[in-house]
Amino acid sequence: MHTVDKPQVHKQEVCVIGGSRYFGKLLVERLRAAGHRVTVINRGSARPPAGVEHLVVDRDDEAALTAALGDRTFDVVVDQVCYTPVQAAIAVRAFAGRTRRYVMTSTIEVYDPATAAPGALAAGAPGTPVAEDVVDPAGWPVRTDLPWHDAAYREAHYAEGKRQAEAVFTREGRFDFACVRSAHVLGGGAREFTGRLAHYVERVARGEEIAVHAGARPTVFIHYRELAEVLLWAATATAFTGPVNACSDGLLDVRDLVAVIAGQTGRRPGYRTVAPGAVASPFSVDRHYAMANDRARELGFAFSRTADWLPGAVAEAL
Exposure pattern of 244-263 as b/e (b: 16+ CB <10 Å)? bbbbbebbbbbebbbebbbe
CA gap 183, 291 in Å, rounded: 8
pLDDT at 224: 92
CA gap 214, 87 in Å, rounded: 38
Determine whether 3 is exposed, middle or buried from the number of CB atoms within 10 Å of its CB (0-12, 13-18, 19+): exposed
Supply the pTM of this predicted model.
Answer: 0.93
pLDDT at 5: 46
pLDDT at 125: 67
pLDDT at 169: 98
Please give the residue range of the domain that contains residue 177. Answer: 11-317
pLDDT at 239: 87
Residue 2 resides in a domain: no
Backbone angles phi, psi at 317, to 5 degrees: -65, -35
pLDDT at 238: 81
List pLDDT tens digits, range 186-229.
Answer: 988 767 777 888 889 989 989 999 999 998 889 999 999 999 99
pLDDT at 7: 44
pLDDT at 128: 84
CA gap 22, 193 in Å, rounded: 7
Residue 3 resides in a domain: no
Residue 183 resides in a domain: yes
Residue 22 resides in a domain: yes
Number of domain units in the chain: 1
Residue 43 resides in a domain: yes
CA gap 54, 52 in Å, rounded: 6
Question: Residue 298 is part of a domain; what is its CATH number?
Answer: 3.40.50.720
CA gap 120, 239 in Å, rounded: 29
pLDDT at 190: 66
pLDDT at 6: 45
Residue 226 resides in a domain: yes
CA gap 139, 83 in Å, rounded: 18
Residue 4 resides in a domain: no
Residue 5 resides in a domain: no
Low-confidence ranges of the chain (pLDDT < 70): 1-9, 123-126, 190
